[in-house]
A and B are shown apart, each in its own frame.
Chain A
Amino acid sequence: GAGVSQSPRYKVAKRGQDVALRCDPISGHVSLFWYQQALGQGPEFLTYFQNEAQLDKSGLPSDRFFAERPEGSVSTLKIQRTQQEDSAVYLCASSLTRGPPNEKLFFGSGTQLSVL
């Protein structure tokens, strides 16, 4: 596709449910990032993939959060046993390489997760 695509656009979960959020990056993009954006805040880094390798997961807030990118393209962010504090917009971003410093990230519109 022309841009980064995320689905679902909105997700409502009951506390304790598991959710899976999908990201389709721009075709051919090597780098993929997940960010969490709380209301009125800037995006907070969660995790980074270079192709299928998860090179940085330092931003994942707990072991309930898990991300994968098994074939180096589509990525899934999974949250187990959701809590109310998980309510946020989850943004996915991709870039062509992890090369030059001026290489920009292209963001998707995000998945808005509401945990009741």
Chain B
Amino acid sequence: GQNIDQPTEMTATEGAIVQINCTYQTSGFNGLFWYQQHAGEAPTFLSYNVLDGLEEKGRFSSFLSRSKGYSYLLLKELQMKDSASYLCAVRDGGATNKLIFGTGTLLAVQP
């Protein structure tokens, strides 16, 4: 089966650092994506990992451990506009190569 777990909600303070965890158990694996989704808007791409390790892109970094089925998204210097849902998704590597999403983590950034 396919199982992707994330915390439902998180709260953090403006200017701080927050780490959003994602664990997965999927029948196939061809990479892990993080998307950001503001309320009522389209999900937008943040990062992609297929090899173990850390990928850094500005204020956002994403980490992957394939042996542990684990990833995290790290957001630094939080801004109010970072309040959104963060979606972890695994590319299943099958004929469709579709993305399988977790339930998303709703992040609230407080002043």
Tell me the total A-B contact number using a CB cutoff of 8 A.
61
- Convert A26-42 into 0s and 1s, putting 1 for each residue whose CB lies closer than 8 angstroms to a CB of B: 00000001010000111
Interface of A is mostly: loop
Q: Of the candidates B40, B95, B98, B104, which one forms a contact with A42 in the assembled complex, judged by CB atoms under 8 Å apart?
A: B104
Contacts of A110 in B (CB 8 A): 42
A contacts with B, residue count (CB < 8 A)? 24
Interface of B is mostly: loop
Interface centre among A35, A40, A101, by most chain B C-beta atoms within 10 angstroms, is A101
Q: Of the candidates B31, B35, B87, B89, which one forms a contact with A102 in the assembled complex, judged by CB atoms under 8 Å apart?
A: B31
Interface centre among A42, A44, A105, by most chain B C-beta atoms within 10 angstroms, is A42
Instruction: Verify B101–A43 contact, CB threshold 8 A.
Output: yes
Which residues on B are within 8 Å of A, measured CB to CB? 4, 8, 30-31, 33, 35, 40-45, 48, 50, 87, 89, 91, 93, 95-104, 106
